[in-house]
Structure 1
């Protein structure tokens, strides 16, 4: 839209949360180059994210988990009641229409200038973006092919083939000039009657779009992607200084005053030269950026909000980060991370909070597929996702559950404190005889088959073979996690930093004692794997030998998972999610 129109309507715009980086956030700064070109660690999220920030009618708003909406009042950010407990991901508004915020399970809330209230959309889809033009033409999108429209009275849902991937952002200049961008290079345009798929010239995930006029449209995305649309086609722009990290939010007053938010910095373009304005904060992907008619610019950066004061960014709000304890990769583009209070869903490199419970501490996750996800945690709590809703299951125990593994929807095992082991048969969970001696602390479980389970405990590994439990000699003590490829290739890690390996006959020490605790293990192939632990410990197994990978020393890693040797995700303290990738 033109600058006068922008100032007049003051539209509110997205900043997504690619977990605490990328739906914001996305890829971050490489922390350790691999010996092979193209492989590196990237920060994807930091989970207590503020997903979007924007201004309307002289008021500032920010949205995030659990229906949380922050309003800036008298110089302080205050949490207000929104009318929903769903996760809110994006926000938009105008002088005429008021303010709309959307999120999970079709959630939509509206601000009329006085208070917030929920509006029924009739959809259960996850909505990642909202954008509109006045009171009778508001659009929302997210899940593939889903497009919702508000006509001033009610929402209606359409299926749009051109939007066949996840839509992360909408933007435009008029009801007949709307752009949609999303994962895997999705770019589409609406001319008032038809949505048309466009080629942006990249397969990178596109995170945001901002339109000044029909011939001045900009988009940004992962790996430093910057694009411009001139009414005929999208073409790439060179990021300043070879910037290769995720760019998640874009906003501007004019093409000669454009801001792009990325990894711990905001890039500015004056029409001739790009410059970088670092936030001076720990690296996290900045999720959203917006400015108002008075010239104030703010960003949502992880769990914080910063205001630009001259050339400096001043922190205004900092929320409490959480620990993430485990991660499961269903496919290269679909992952689940769990921790204190939160369950997070990752789509490609785009993350969002999909379930939140302030009383929960989720410790482990396993899935047979995208419509069959199990999460276990403290006090015997078990959560299940059927492709539509998250629902609690009765476990029959109040012991803390620390690990879970399965072989299909009707054969799942969970383990926990006091020797607790549970089996799910597709209908109910039942307690099995305890592992080892009373008081035994079970930390992880993996199986070569439903009749051949390996359980890590603080007294070594116990094996359940054809319903008979035996303690395995030479398997160490203080074990924290276990994983394998077959009954003759199993690995366990312990709190003293040792790594043990079972070759089908006996256990041996594969890595001698280290100073740091190891908390997570994942075998990615024969002679290959990854281990994670405290003080930034990330280790890689190559051809049977373990080597240290570099990372922030103040970071604890609790869980790790891989779909291949070149696609690994680690989760840990400070809501941090990090991916090792060749993409």
Structure 2
């Protein structure tokens, strides 16, 4: 008997049968085309981490300094923001900025830098906080020493003989100096140093006089650390009542004794009118770390995600570019008009090639889905069951606490909108959201329609429901696995994806598509019957050309595929938004 590479011809048929059986177990069917040249995606916006801005100081609205990190300053001249890189920086962040005027500005970042109106120079002083009363009365401190400048030379004012973490410094007439450290507060009256240690963690100080000072921080407690504002009346530090919903506070500044602001976690802004503190309506979900102003109608607050807010005496608005660091849910009218939700933060609007933060979502809420007829008529569902509406300018409450979270929308017109979610279906008729189905023991993940009398919803357990303009009825999907998304080009050409792969409806019945059978498929959208894209987690993307599904890999984590109102296809991933080039 002939021998072939050590295997006799007798065993060859068995080996071939075994190989054939292994191939049959592959999850990719034979009629799935091999990977083809990648589709061309053009980036609209690339997301990246944007570090926090640490402090702000200004002499006027045309002379604003904002601290960043690695010795990088931003300066605003009333028209543009300019980058300034300080020499000799050694620490990660700029900790403090102070000036007596536009030609006398100091920056403390572990060392001390000075601007004389012409250029910046590094001084032989180690400092993380700086402050003063005039050009010839400047104070700076590091973890051990306090320094003083009399207009001619710098001297060591005091040696604590221990290392602690200074967070802010305030100087007043007298002389009077208050150094705020992380866990205590130290006073100097020109002759004697004395400490006080009210319970808390402290971050900033501001005051009108030695007898009218404010310190902000956090109460040290379990299980939560609530905000604290201490007031000093010349004798004692005493806590002030703060609004119940306020969060931890990091910065404080005032224009007068009855016009004081405190800022903090997740965009918290408090105002003191001389009698009580009140909580301002949130305009950002970014934490704010510094605040300063040149007057009551020219105040800046800065914080994480490079957030800069400006107060003009009436309203807080963004003073610099707003960009999300991520997008978790999105909706698109076109490639130039997009709404997106950044996890644990805010809703951002992209219009005229610019992003703006338009709605600060509460800390324990999230946006589940968007839907609407334009960027000027947009709805968003929140995890609490509420639905909010955007008219192109402001968000307002449209429905409060619907039964079940609403996970998807489809709009036939501005007065004909469907939402589906946890055991429920609602319809908006132009006046309110009306229940079409409530309290059902299943969850619907997606909804799409070709017209008002042909709307399809899909969900758990292979559930497919169809609305004929009068009532909802079930359709036979032929599967029991969850379906996560549905989209179509007409009533006779509808696709659904989920744990069983891809289903197609031809107007008569649903059938399994010869495509990628995987539980990873989560979203589907397209531009035409021969131009459909299904995506899943892990960089999976399938493109249907009308005949076969082509498998492609993308080097990013897809979040959603959007069929914009103008027909564009937009891919939302963990680090960018892109559109499919024609």
Higher RCO (C-alpha under 8 Å, 6+ residues apart): 1
Q: Return the index of the structure with the highest Cα Rg.
A: 2
- The normalised TM-score by structure 2 is 0.49
Give the TM-score, by structure 1 length. 0.49
